[in-house]
Chain A
Amino acid sequence: AQTVTQSQPEMSVQEAETVTLSCTYDTSESDYYLFWYKQPPSRQMILVIRQEAYKQQNATENRFSVNFQKAAKSFSLKISDSQLGDAAMYFCACYQGAQKLVFGQGTRLTINP
Chain B
Amino acid sequence: GAVVSQHPSRVICKSGTSVKIECRSLDFQATTMFWYRQFPKQSLMLMATSNEGSKATYEQGVEKDKFLINHASLTLSTLTVTSAHPEDSSFYICRLGQLSGGYTFGSGTRLTVV
Contact = CB atoms under 8 A, between A and B. Distances in A.
Interface in A27-82: 33, 35, 37, 42-45, 47
Contact of A105 (B43, B93, B95, B103): B43
Assign chain A's interface to a size class. Answer: 10 to 19
A95 B49 CA distance: 14
B67 interface: no
B6 to A, nearest CB: 10
A100 B43 contact: no
B28 interface: no
A95 B99 CA distance: 10
Interface in A80-113: 91, 95, 98-101, 103-106
Contact of B46 (A45, A100, A104): A100
Contacts of A101: 34, 46, 95, 103
B75 interface: no
B43 A43 contact: no
B72 to A, nearest CB: 20
A45 B99 contact: no
Contacts of A105: 42-43
A100 B49 contact: yes
19 contacts: A33-B99, A35-B103, A37-B105, A43-B38, A43-B107, A45-B95, A47-B102, A47-B103, A91-B43, A95-B99, A99-B32, A99-B34, A99-B49, A99-B98, A100-B49, A101-B46, A101-B95, A103-B44, A104-B43
Give the top 7 A-B pairs by smallest Cβ distance, nearest first: A45-B105, A99-B97, A103-B43, A43-B108, A103-B44, A44-B107, A105-B43
